[in-house]
Structure 1
Amino acid sequence: GLATTFVMTLASVCSYLMARFILIPFGIGYLRTLSFILVIAVVVQFTEIVVRNSSTALYRLLGIFLPLITTNCAVLGVALLNTNLAHNVMQSIVYGFAAAVGFSLLLVWFAALRERIALADIPVPVKAPSIA
């Protein structure tokens, strides 16, 4: 949750700067999605380096999940929505942070729901992949 929040907020700012100072002035807005994916990959790698150097235990705990943030469509969606809604840099920061907090809360909610289902007394006829 915290790593995704950091990446989503930072990627929102970097995507805004990329669109504002490179894509729009040079008239290459058609490269927006590709450039935002590249920006997200760079931000995730930066985050991985920072986490590895600052907390080895956290780096080991996150393991393979940290690079998987790159493939999270929510991160790309927030970056694209920031440009579609013509947010300024402050609005991009707030929007990215708020979306990341909402995403983290949703993950916690789904984990709690899954835990509750795992502990529930489910009747045998419906205890199958459909309930999980």
Structure 2
Amino acid sequence: MGLFTIFAASILINNFVYYYFLGVCPFLGLSKKIDAAFSMGVAVTFVMALTAVVSWAINHWILIPYGLEYLQIVAFILVIASLVQLVEMFIRKTSPPLYQAMGIYLPLITVNCCIMGLALLASLKNYNFPETVVFGVGAGIGFTIAIVLMAAIREQLELADVPEAIKGAGMSLIVTGIIALAFLGFSGMIKQ
């Protein structure tokens, strides 16, 4: 599979939110305002790209050569936690308002199943280094598109006359399902 195919598939077809349904906590929690959603998407994309690089290196240079594949999950958790701490410190230093806007969701990137799913899927698919990097960046961009799209729709839903029974999380899940069906339409574009 070519790099462009992996990139396009990770954004549109195998979108982590709409296809794998991973990362739903920050997806629903931070998709109320476009600014916060975009910031979270960029932070997740950055962490996913770094996680892809570091987890590939650890997996191929330490775990596989020494027969320690059974430690993948522990190693990936340590990588993700370390990278999120670095991103959190960077955002706190460079943009305190953004740090405040992200609130509890920034440390929650540590347990964001999108990132762990990325590390495990890249390992499972046995991608080489460039493919892993492209997969990580594409998955992060796909997450960003998903969360920003949802934030834009939720901002419009605030102005709509939605029945009381499905306001809030109910309507968000309905919209997420409809968007997931729309993204499913891309699956015929690329053979996997």
Residue equivalent to 1:13: 53
Unpaired stretches in structure 1, ≥5 consecutive residues: none
- Which of 113, 128, 131 pairs up with 2:165? 128
Aligned to 2:117: 77
Scaled by the length of structure 2, what TM-score is found?
0.62
**Correspondences of 1:1-132 after superposition (within 5 Å):** 1-122=41-162, 126-129=163-166, 130-131=170-171
Structure 2, unaligned runs of 5 or more: 1-40, 173-192
**1:64-108 per-position Cα deviation (integer Å, ceiling 9, x unaligned):** 221111111111111111111111221111110100110111111
Find the aligned partners of 2:101 and 2:155 in 1 and give their Cα distance. Answer: 21
For normalisation by structure 1, the TM-score amounts to 0.87
Q: C-alpha separation between the residues in 2 aligned to 1:48 and 1:98?
A: 22
Counterparts in 2 of 1:113 and 1:54: CA distance versus 1, 3 Å: closer
Report which of the two structures shows the higher radius of gyration computed on alpha carbons: 1
User: Shift of residue 12 of structure 1?
Assistant: 0.8
The AA in structure 1 aligned to 2:165 is A
User: Segments of 4+ in structure 1 off by > 6 A?
Assistant: none
* Matched length: 129
